[in-house]
Amino acid sequence: MNTKTTNVAQDLQAPIAKKIPHTMTIHDDTRIDNYYWMRDDNRADPEIIAHLNAENAYTDAVMAHTEALQQQLFEEIKGRIVKDDNSVPVKQGNYFYSSEVTGDNEYAISVRADDFNGTNKAVLLDINELAKNHEYYNVSSLSISQDENLLAYGEDTVSRRIYTIKVKNLVTGEYLADEITGTSGSIAWQNDNQAFYYIKKDPQTLLGYQVYRHQLGTNQADDMLIFEETDPSFYTSIGKSKDNELVYIWHSSTETSAVSIIDANDPNATATPFLEREEGLEYSISKLGQQFYVLTNYEAVNFRLMKVAADKLGDKTEWQDVIAPQEGVMLEDYELFDNYLVYQQRSNGLTHITVRQLDTNEERELRFNDEAFTAFFYGNKELNTNKLRLYYSSMTTPASHYDINLDNSEFTLLKQAEVLGDFNADNYQSERLMIPARDGKLVPVSLVYRKELFKKDGTNPLYQYGYGSYGSTIDPSFSSSRLSLLDRGFVYAIAHIRGSEMLGRPWYEDGKKLTKQNTFNDFIDVTKALVEQGYGAKDKIFAVGGSAGGLLMGAIANQAPELYCGIAAQVPFVDVVTTMLDESIPLTTNEYDEWGNPNQKEYYEYMLSYSPYDNVGEHDYPHMLVTTGLHDSQVQYFEPMKWVAKLREMKTDNNRLLFKTDMEAGHGGASGRFKALHEDALEYAFFIDLLNEKESK
């Protein structure tokens, strides 16, 4: 490795943004934002595009000496992926549905067959063909009509998550003239095969807020409005009951949820609330015969499962316990069949799955090989079956798909993801630690490393990942890309910090709104403890997070910059106060229950205390790689753009600060299966190069 690259960033001129003071005053407090001008909702301002291109050119120049390393990493990561692959078929109606990828194709082909083994296989969609001539292409979930002859799907060619719905006749292969624009991509068919329901998005805020029924062969302008959400803090989504009798409209905000139901057999049906909406009450429903099962936080902070007769809707006093609330046990999910109830709980951060026979109430817990793992139900479209489809993975176990016989709990492995090359799971070790935070709370940490390269003497480089928002729990799971780090001696750690639900709903509540600082404290305290316990070298610590995890990266860069050699912030949410004060920005109003509403002084002052952009200071920062997508719909491109400009202005070090914008992609990054691997290769090369420089000194 060329040791002369240490100060390469100093030798090249980083883009310096102009400053145009923009004054914002609220609660008798005035902030001046010199980079507010970088916002252009049309993404067309030549000066802004030129600055982003200059940042990209600077990143490319600084990283030019790592091009061979990046290519090596890309080939390594790609080389572990099976080129010709297929998903496990899922039975729905009379067919088995799956997707296939072949060769160097970036996208999948959607197919269906008469049986699990692929008899009479027919292609539904070749997404490679559809994606031609598009830099970005994404298809929303496919929706099959009740007679199984029509396929409706949504297409996004910009990466703003705004979909145009198209309808294909699977008998003739022809497309219908119907094209529905400006939607969320969700589709639910009416049972007469003549109409479907969809969600219209607000073009400014990007919130799905209207449910329409579209009659085939008619103009979109004539579609029937079924429901309109008037509260901008709520998302709207749709789906169907497992027996296909009902269309569900899901109404969801951060702390409240509700359901409306539509008779899928009635072409003139209206939406009926399952229960009148109550602030703070969360529930979801499933139908089994003439009963509804209700997963709810009603008098149960960690949720319970209840049921109610179909003729007793609208009254919570009629709800009866199926699974009563348990102290310290989070009820996360369940799956219903004619004869069985399967439910998933989390206790002390660990997943437990239990099978209950409905006629006898006899129960048994399913057993897994790993203590800590990721497992979830999927593809269970049938009620009249004794098979449960389940996904399973751990830090050392590649993605595995099982059918479980509910009569005897027998596991049948349908497929385990093949990892090409010399991968052997026995070469890797995972661990689970409980690390005390500064207030005494124990934070779960998942670790994995390559056995013969791990010394536990404080010499290994450490890659620490975190998220910690929205109650989203990052369970330990396998990544073949990650092997490129582990095989170079990295220890990989996931800090299950507050703001997630790893330890139940209270763990989430203790890391949001006016307790958000706990999220950052937990991550920092985990870093310190891992160094103290010998899992990582104190000068070789790298931190990574994306979106709300990018907020975490911005906070730790301000609050504990000395702990980290390098930080990668992916599509980071960093301008918290300004964004949350602007209701025109997508998602803002929906997020008040997560961050608070800064129009209220208490929340304004608290947000201001940690918002990464507002707290950039005149001090040293770690080496930083910041990435975003120009068309990101979740975190607008101008947040990281402004943040990087302010960091360049304020920071007192000569460490690298690189900002890479994908001029085509959005929040999820690149759309192709191999194209996205270049993003991993860039990040890994950024860290490995820093490591090589340290070790060459």
* Catalytic-labelled residue, pool 525, 575, 632, 689: 632
Overall residue count recorded for the chain in this entry: 697
Query: Per the structure block, which two tokens stand in for 625?
Result: 């790689």
Per the DSSP assignment, residues forming a β-bridge with 430 are 448
How many whole angstroms separate alpha carbon 512 and alpha carbon 469? 7
Residues near 302 by beta carbon (within 8 Å), at least 6 away in sequence: 325, 326, 328, 329, 330, 331, 504, 505, 506
CA atoms within 13 A on the CB side of 672: 19
* Catalytic-labelled residue, pool 241, 547, 611, 671: 547
CA atoms within 13 A on the CB side of 309: 4
Residue recorded with tokens 């030019």: 64
Burial class (CB in 10 A: 0-12, 13-18, 19+), 327: exposed
Question: Which stretches of 510-584 are DSSP H helices?
Answer: 517-532, 548-559, 576-580
How many whole angstroms separate alpha carbon 153 and alpha carbon 137? 13
Q: Please name which of 512, 508, 505 lies closest in space to residue 606, comparing C-alpha atoms.
A: 512
Specify the 3-state DSSP secondary structure of 374. strand
For the beta carbon of residue 12, count every other beta carbon within 10 angstroms.
12
Asked if residues 165 and 154 have their Cβ atoms less than 8 Å apart, the reply is: yes
In the residue annotation, 632 being an active-site residue is answered as yes
DSSP state letter for 89: P
Specify the 3-state DSSP secondary structure of 142. coil
Question: What is 664-682 written as a DSSP string?
Answer: S-BTTB-SSTTTTHHHHHH
CA angle 16/582/28 to nearest 5° reads 90
How many whole angstroms separate alpha carbon 415 and alpha carbon 131? 28
In the residue annotation, 475 being an active-site residue is answered as no
DSSP state letter for 18: -
How many whole angstroms separate alpha carbon 193 and alpha carbon 340? 31
* Catalytic-labelled residue, pool 51, 214, 631, 667: 667
How many whole angstroms separate alpha carbon 467 and alpha carbon 544? 9
Residues near 242 by beta carbon (within 8 Å), at least 6 away in sequence: 286, 287, 336, 380, 381, 382, 383
How many whole angstroms separate alpha carbon 100 and alpha carbon 118? 12
How many whole angstroms separate alpha carbon 208 and alpha carbon 340? 34
In the residue annotation, 667 being an active-site residue is answered as yes
Dmax (CA) for the chain in angstroms is 76
CA angle 468/471/473 to nearest 5° reads 70
Catalytic residues: 547, 632, 667
